[in-house]
């Protein structure tokens, strides 16, 4: 057993029958994420999420709102979600010029039957609180060039955007954007932050072991997410992005 096995925590979960959908937004606001399982057959996760959290945003092709996360031939050697490899901590859509999706939803159609494959999460605001004020100020002011993963670039869906890691906004909540892999102009400070993000992530991560017909939701302006490697290529999740409202 490694240190990471010891520190990984099971998620806060609620069975679908116990969930009050009208309290969902407040729950996500407070806790930052929620894992809902024991969902009955026939449930339409996309309709549920859009009804209770907000409109779904199109994914990388600009059209599809429900995106399959499933290992595909041709991506084995890329850094990309559609293979079986480990991902490093990131927020979603860090390379968008505008506001990234407020919430992410991952719906499990087919869990992997082998070890690994957990989606992992940690509270990015917790990480920020572990830094000095001078470091936080640097993250608010220093602009970095964020670029898409090599996998998205391979699909000609790559984007780039320049912004600070921490965007404070008047009248709405701050936005954390980060990727341990996809900042083109990393300097020594950024490398050190990336290293510390990974350490913090390992020490505090919540590991979601998906069961069939379960839904993981989180606040993408606050939480970082990642994934453990797996081998069972039947693993199939569907991802939705929810617009900020």
Ligand X SMILES: O=C(O)CCC(=O)C(=O)O
CB-nearer residue toward Fe ion: 139 or 224? 224
Q: What are phi and psi of 239, to 5 degrees?
A: -110, 135
User: Judged by CB, which is closer to ligand X: 221, or 227?
Assistant: 227
Of residues 227, 238, 240, 242, which one binds ligand X by CB under 6 A? Answer: 227
69 binds, among Fe ion, ligand X, none (CB under 5 to 8 A by kind): ligand X
Q: How far is the CB of 149 from Fe ion (least distance, A)?
A: 9
Tell the smallest beta-carbon distance from residue 117 to ligand X (Å): 7
- Binds 239: which of ligand X, Fe ion, none (CB < 5-8 Å by kind): ligand X
Q: Which of 19, 28, 53, 87 binds ligand X (CB under 6 A)?
A: 87
* Dihedral angle sign, alpha carbons of residues 67, 238, 174, 179: negative
Segments of 135-235 assigned E as strands: 143-147, 160-164, 166-169, 172-176, 206-208, 215-219, 223-227
CB of 115 to ligand X, least distance (A): 14
**Alpha-carbon torsion 187, 136, 166, 192, what sign?**
positive
Bridge partners for 57 per DSSP: 241
> Of 88-147, which residues contact ligand X (CB under 6 A)?
92, 119
Give the separation between CA 4 and CA 19, rounded to whole angstroms: 30
Judged by the rule CB under 6 A, the positions of this chain that interact with ligand X are: 69, 81, 87, 92, 119, 225, 227, 237, 239
């Amino acid at each position: 057993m490694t240190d990471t096995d010891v520190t990984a925590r099971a998620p806060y979960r609620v069975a679908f029958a116990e969930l009050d959908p009208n309290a969902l937004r407040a729950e996500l606001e407070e806790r930052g994420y929620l894992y809902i399982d024991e969902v009955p057959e026939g449930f339409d996760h996309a309709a549920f999420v859009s009804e209770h959290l907000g409109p779904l945003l199109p994914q990388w092709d600009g059209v599809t709102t429900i995106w399959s996360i499933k290992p595909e031939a041709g991506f084995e050697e890329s850094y990309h979600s559609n293979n079986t490899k480990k991902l490093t901590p990131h927020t979603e859509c860090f390379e968008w010029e505008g506001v990234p999706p407020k919430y992410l939803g991952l719906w499990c159609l087919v869990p992997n039957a082998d070890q690994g494959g957990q989606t992992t999460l940690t509270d990015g605001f917790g990480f920020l609180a572990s830094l000095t004020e001078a470091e936080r100020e640097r993250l608010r002011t220093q602009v970095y060039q964020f670029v898409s993963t090599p996998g998205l670039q391979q699909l000609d869906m790559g984007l780039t955007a320049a912004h600070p890691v921490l965007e404070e906004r008047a009248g709405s909540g701050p936005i954390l954007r980060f990727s341990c892999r996809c900042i083109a102009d990393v300097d020594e400070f950024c490398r050190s932050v990336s290293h510390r993000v990974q350490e913090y992530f390992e020490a505090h991560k919540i590991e979601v072991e998906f069961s069939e017909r379960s839904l993981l939701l989180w606040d993408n302006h606050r939480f970082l997410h990642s994934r453990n490697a797996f081998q069972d290529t039947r693993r199939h999740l569907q991802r939705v992005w929810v617009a900020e409202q």
